[in-house]
Every structure is written in structure tokens, then in C-alpha cells.
Amino acid sequence: MCPTYERGEELDMAFDICVVGAGMVGSAAAKWLAMDGTKKVCLIGPQEPTEEEDRKGERQIFGCHYDEGRITREIDPDYVWGLLAKRSIQRYRDIENESGIHFYNEVGCVFINKTDSQEFDDYLDTARKLEAYIETYDASEFHTKYPYLKINPDCRCIWAPQNTGHISPRKLVAAQQKIARSHGCDIINEVVVDMEESEDGGKNLVRISTESGREVLTRRALLCTGCFSNFHHLLPDEKKLDLLLRRAVVVKAEVTKEDAVKIADMPTFWLGHERAYILPPILYPDGKYYIKIGLSHFSSDILQGLDKAVQWFYSKGKEHPGVKDTIDSLQRFMPDLKPVSLITDSCITTSTPTKQLYCDMLTARTGVVVGMNGWGAKSSDEIGRMGASMIGKGSWDHDLPADNFKVLFKDNKKDTI
């Protein structure tokens, strides 16, 4: 098993492939590359900060996997996203078994929307294409099944009990990295601030620099850097990606252990008519149970620049106007819920104009896998496999069409986001 290197430690810094970005997608890509066994691989990215490090307010890079609850499901209004999710979910138990880390709870998922909504029909269509088992209910039938939940009488429901539920993104990352290390992947816990393609001794290499001054040389590099892809000096100006960064805010409602037990049968929910997702009570590292809810229609807030992104992460979303509406949505859905406390958290959604992720080679030596559009967590293992296959070969190597995932670049005349 290869070690994890902390800031300032020395190592052999010549690799075949380096994955930059140690979140869900980057960790999955590093695992797949290491499991191939033919190349020397490293993964570079910071660890989740401690509470003390967080209080210092000095961070410039954040991860969206610092959490215990994320909805996962194999059906989606978009078939491609549904297929990526299905393939990932089918491997969850294998990842758990190999790593010894449990991160997946198959509690089911319910999709609720207006009777006449197109999105509802899109879910049904994708379920049919993916051969997913589902049941449908009207509002009264649903209330009989879950009497502590309330939905509008003009809504209908899709109940998907299999290959759906919630994951701990924090534990999923830990599991992927543990497997990667066991197959020989070096992990460097640092922030990358500069990348440059160069010739070194007649070899075409990518020179990667970290904030501590460490330099890593690699034949190819794969960027899985999420909303921070256009910041620092990871990409030249003419290769800045066409991405929109949007604020996302969530509320976690603390409930007592007794209340959590009473609604232990609660699945995850997507409320299409509310544009909200709700997770059942989940035990967090602080020993408390939280019901997590997020509303997507407040994510129209566009962020520009690294400073604004950092400020948003540190704000925890406390002053965002969508917090009240998020709480109101939860109270409408669970009118008898009496939270012990309410806390907010912030995240950034990285969106593409195509609504599909980018997985593409920018040059012969550098590739990117970014732009999850808020849907990447559940699908991250297959997305990582896609990126690993591409960077390992240096060209497209997946059964889905490459054109689905082609990168679009920013107009240099516009402000860089």
C-alpha cells in the first residue's frame, strides 16, 4: 500500500498520470487508474480541514463532499445522467466490501410532482429505459403509506425502492482513496496552484506546483477540480472552461433520536413542484440526527471570482434569502416536525451550457472532468471511470458518445467566472 503524503514531505515526483482534485470524481478516477496496474498514479488534493483550520479562515479551496448526506438514485429526467448513476450505484457494495467503509443506505427514493408535469413523465420514461423497478401513487395513496408526510392533492408520486437512497460523500471519498492506495496510488494532500506543460530532458511533461512549493512531474494530468477549475493557474486563459458557478444553500433540521426512530422508514425525496430535495434523519459526526433539505431554484445566484466563491463557502449560507423558503418547504412537507435546531450550509453548483458534464482532452497531455450540474455525487464512480479511461489512453475511451461531454470554452471577451 502506498502512503499519503502531507505537506512538505518528500517523494518520487515523476508519474505517468496525476489526478488533480481529490473529491468524489477525482478519487474515483485515481482508483480506476491505480487498479489498472500499468501506470504510476498520484492523486493531489487537500484533506477535509479540521474545525481549528476552518476557524482560521485561511482556506482558498473547498470540497462539496464534506457532508454525510447526499441523495442517490438511478432514475433521472435525463437518460445519460440516469445511466451514469445506475452503473455507479451497482458498484457501491463492491466499493464498500473492498474498502471496509460503509457509505450507502438503500432507503428508496420518492419523486413527487404535479399530475400534469412533463418532468414526471420524463422520470417514467427514464425508468422504463433503465428497466428500473418503480411504483406510482396518487396523493391519497401516498399519504396512507407515509402518514407523517403531506403533499398537495394535485400531485402524484413515483416510488423507487431499489438502487436509491442516500450516501455519505465524505465516506465515499475515503473508500475510493483507500482502494486507490491499496493498488499503488500516491496521495498528496496539498492544493495545486499552477499547471504548465513543458519539456524536461526532452520529455513532454506536465509540471504541477502546489501551494507549499512542491513540484510534481507527470506525463498526463486529469483535472477534477469542480468549481475551482478556472481559478489559480490551472488552465491558460484561452482554455478557461464555459462554466457557471451558482450558490446553493441547504438547511439541516436537527431532530431527537426518538423522532428519528419514529420516522426510520422515511426514504429520500425529490419534490419537483417545490424544486426541493429532502433526506431522512441521518446521524452526523457530532452525534446528532439531521433532516437535510435543499431548494434548487435559488441557485440562480451567479458567483464570479475566487474571492466571492471563498466568501460564500465561509458564510455557510446564513444570510441567504432562500433559507426561509427552504424551511417553509420542509414545514409544508412535514407539518408535525419540531426541529431541535436549524443550521445552514453552503455549496457551489458548477453548471455547463449543455447540462452534461465535461469529460474531454484539452491537449495531448491534459484532460478535464468537471461540470457536474448538481448531479455528480451519485454518479461519481462511473464518471471517474470515464475520466480514467480517457486520460489513460489520451483520447476518448467510453461506450457513451464523446460529443455528449465535449468541453466548451469561455468567450475571452467576457468576465472570467
Q: What is the pLDDT of residues 271-291, one digit of tens each?
A: 998 889 999 999 999 999 999
**pLDDT per residue over 150-185, tens digit each?**
989 999 999 999 999 999 999 999 999 999 999 999
* pLDDT confidence of residue 417: 41
C-alpha cell at 26: 477525482
Residues of the chain scoring pLDDT < 50: 7-8, 10-12, 413-417
Q: What's the pLDDT at 12?
A: 47
- The per-residue pLDDT for range 8-67, each reduced to its tens digit, is 454 446 899 999 999 999 999 999 999 999 999 999 999 988 777 777 777 778 888 899
What helix, strand, coil percent values describe the chain, rounded to 5?
Answer: 30, 30, 40
Looking at the domain that runs over 70-168+244-351, which CATH code has it been given? Answer: 3.30.9.10
Domain 4-66+170-242+354-405: CATH superfamily, name plus number = FAD/NAD(P)-binding domain (3.50.50.60)
pLDDT of 298: 52
**How many angstroms separate the first and last alpha carbons of the chain?**
39
What confidence score (pLDDT) does residue 414 get?
A: 46
CA 91, CA 89: separation in Å to the nearest integer?
5
What is the C-alpha separation between 164 and 132, in angstroms, rounded? 10
Q: What pLDDT is attached to residue 11? A: 47
Residue closest to 85 by CA, chosen among 371, 378, 374: 378
Residue 8: its pLDDT value, please?
Answer: 47
- Break the chain into its structural domains and give their ranges: 4-66+170-242+354-405, 70-168+244-351
What's the CA gap between 214 and 417, in Å, rounded? 27
Set of cell numbers at residue 14: 515523476
Considering only CA atoms, which of 72, 24, 83, 26 is closest in space to residue 369? 26
- Do 4-66+170-242+354-405 and 70-168+244-351 fold alike per CATH? no
Q: In the beta sheet, which residues pair with residue 138?
A: 156
**Residue 391: partners with Cβ closer than 8 Å, 6 or more residues away:** 17, 19, 29, 33, 220, 221, 222, 361, 367
Do residues 21 and 191 make contact, with C-beta atoms less than 8 angstroms apart?
no
- Positive or negative, the CA dihedral 265, 268, 270, 275 is positive
